[in-house]
Structure 1
């Protein structure tokens, strides 16, 4: 009898343990505010808006996926605004590396191993016009660090000391991982426990009848 009561208890304990192991872990997604401005030869440029990057350190090189989950920037040159909504890493190649460090307070950019043949230039552009429309680039390709507004009539460039704080935190969100496996696992274990209970009931009745006959 003790054994019969113990088996369902162990099954339920297993479900509890499974729940503990599969509890979703929240990932930290951060929205950073960008507010940059520079000038060249009497022309003024600015880049303002937000970008979303999960907390972490990222090295972009030779087509490595970029970590920007959302881009909402406005590039303005001499009062003419242009919308930029995506990041592009095609100008990061060879030994050139573009380094992104996102914390819960700041977004920092840096480069490594870059030169004229191995650029590390990160671009923000409009997904509809690509490099045929206005876009913004920050990085280095042998020269000191720079940022530039291109195809904006005129282009406006300035030197940038890398590493540079590109953005500051606006909002931090805890994003739970998908919990479907968690639910299925617990339900499966609880279902097994319920089935086990039903199977045990007939055996308990037989045990009682055997006792009466004796």
Structure 2
């Protein structure tokens, strides 16, 4: 059997579409943890990136933090957190958040820092406060790049969340881990196909958000 045959056999099996191990349940678990990790990472990285980018300070520190976080192996960190904290959501969330913070932080900082200073200077000349300049001038123009950082982080989370199954968590990684353990390659291929499909859907969602949230003038300028 080739890969397509394995995938067809997996999705044609009605047993894979129902119960606690069914595709709908696993997909919802995977999406839930991915959204939670992305939300935590955004809450940490977006404010820091926006403020430091606006002030023009802390670029070296951000680069150092991002480089250090990227150097951490997600799987190794997952095992360490599991041994330290035991079962639960926290040992899974920590590696995913650590993975997602750098692209959001660095991209947000660079998005604000790389803006044309003319509109910002004009806003200051009009007497706008610094928070108003950030939220009404800088963020709207930098939004495409900021969304790009969030998109990169979301794709990394969706792909890496499969390792949660190694410490007996659910999600789509459950199919891959169980399939490898049982030498059931239908499950392995099916799980991998679902993860890839979810990643593509994530790309489509961010494209749609960008079309809605970014003004046409800013889109044309990019």
TM-score by length of 2: 0.24
> More strand by proportion, 1 or 2?
1
> More helix by proportion, 1 or 2?
2
